[in-house]
Amino acid sequence: MSADDQRLIAECLQGNTAAFGVLVRRYQERLYHSVYRLVENAEDAQDVVQEAFLNAYQSLDGFKGDSRFFTWLYRIAVNTAISFKRKHRALVHLETQNNGEYALEPLDPSAASRPEHALEQAEQQMRVRQALARLSPEHRAVLVLKEIEGQKYETMAEILQVPIGTIRSRLHRARLELRELLEKSEQKE
C-alpha cells in the first residue's frame, strides 16, 4: 500500500471526511470501469461504485493494510456488483439488448481511416460484450479481473476470497463458456 493511501486512511479514521474524498477521486474511474463490465449499465455501475465507497468508508477501521487499498476496495466493489447482479438477474436492460453502448461510446477515431476494419472491430466487440453479459456473475468477475484488470491468480483469490484452485478452474470454465457463446454468435451470422 502506498504511503499516501495510508496517510489518507489515517486521516479518515480521525474523522477527516475530505481525505476520503481524495481516495474516491483517485480510484473511482478504475473501479467504475470494472464494475461497468460486471453490471453492463452505466447508472447501475455508478450506484454500485457509490455503494462500494460507502461500505468501504464504514469498514475502514477494519482495513489492516495487509493488501493494497485498491485490492481491498476492489473486493468490496466486486462483491457489491455480484450481489447486485444476483438480485437483478431477471432484469434485462434495453441498453444491452439494443447494443446502445455504441451510441454512448464512440469508437477510436483513428479507426475511421479503415471503415471496414472499424465495422469488423465494432461487430467483434459487440459479440464479446454480449457473450460476457451472458456469463454468470462469478465467471464474468474472474474474466474481468484477469483480462480487464490484469490481476494475477493470487490477487484474484484475495479479492474474491476463494482458493487459487477455484480461481484457476473458474477461469478455465469461463473461457470455454465464452468461446462457446462466441462460436454460436459467429455461426448465426
Partner 1 sequence: MLPDRYCRLLTAYVDGELSSRQRRLVVRLLHRSAEARQLFQQLKADAHALRHLPRPPLPTDLTEPVLHTITARNLTTGRRRLVKAASTSMWIRPVASWAVAAAVLLALGVASYFYFAVSLDQSAKTEMAHKQPELSNPSPLSPLPSPPTPTAEREPQTPKSDERIADRKPQQAEGEKRKAESGKQHRNQPKVSPADKPPPPKEETVLANRPEMFSLDRVPDLLPVVVKISELDRVSARRKLLDELRKDSVFHLELPCPNGAKAFDRVQNAARALHIGLLIDKQAQERIKLRWRTNYVLYMENITPEELTRFVQQIGAEDRKSTADKKNVDAQIDYLVLTRLTAGARKELATLLGVDPIPMAPSVTGPLGADPRSSLSEATAHPVGQTWARQGEPPQPEPGKAEAKPSEQVALVLTYNPARPSAGSEEIKHFLEGRKPGRTGALRIFLVLRSVS
Residues interacting with partner 1, by CB under 8 A? 12-13, 15, 17-18, 20-21, 24-25, 28-29, 32-33, 36-37, 42-44, 46-47, 49-50, 53-55, 57-62, 101, 104-105, 107-108, 124-125, 128-129, 132, 143, 146-148, 150, 152-153, 168-169, 171-172, 175-176, 178-179, 182
Cβ proximity to partner 1: between 55 and 67 the closer is 55
Cβ proximity to partner 1: between 119 and 176 the closer is 176
- The CB-of-175 to partner 1 minimum distance in angstroms stands at 5
Closest CA to 80 of 44, 51, 59, 54: 51
Q: Can you tell me the distance from the alpha carbon of 32 to that of 24, in angstroms, rounded to the nearest whole number? A: 11
Q: Is 73:24 a contact under the CB 8 Å cutoff?
A: no
**Amino acid present at 185:** S
- The CB-of-21 to partner 1 minimum distance in angstroms stands at 5
Q: Is 140:36 a contact under the CB 8 Å cutoff?
A: no
Closest CA to 74 of 30, 137, 18: 30
Q: How wide is the angle at C-alpha 74 spanned by C-alphas 37 and 81, nearest 5°? A: 45
Cβ proximity to partner 1: between 33 and 134 the closer is 33
Cβ proximity to partner 1: between 15 and 115 the closer is 15
Residue keyed to cell 451472458? 134
- The CB-of-29 to partner 1 minimum distance in angstroms stands at 5
- The CB-of-133 to partner 1 minimum distance in angstroms stands at 12
Cβ proximity to partner 1: between 2 and 107 the closer is 107
- The CB-of-67 to partner 1 minimum distance in angstroms stands at 18
DSSP string spanning 150-172? ---HHHHHHHHTS-HHHHHHHHH
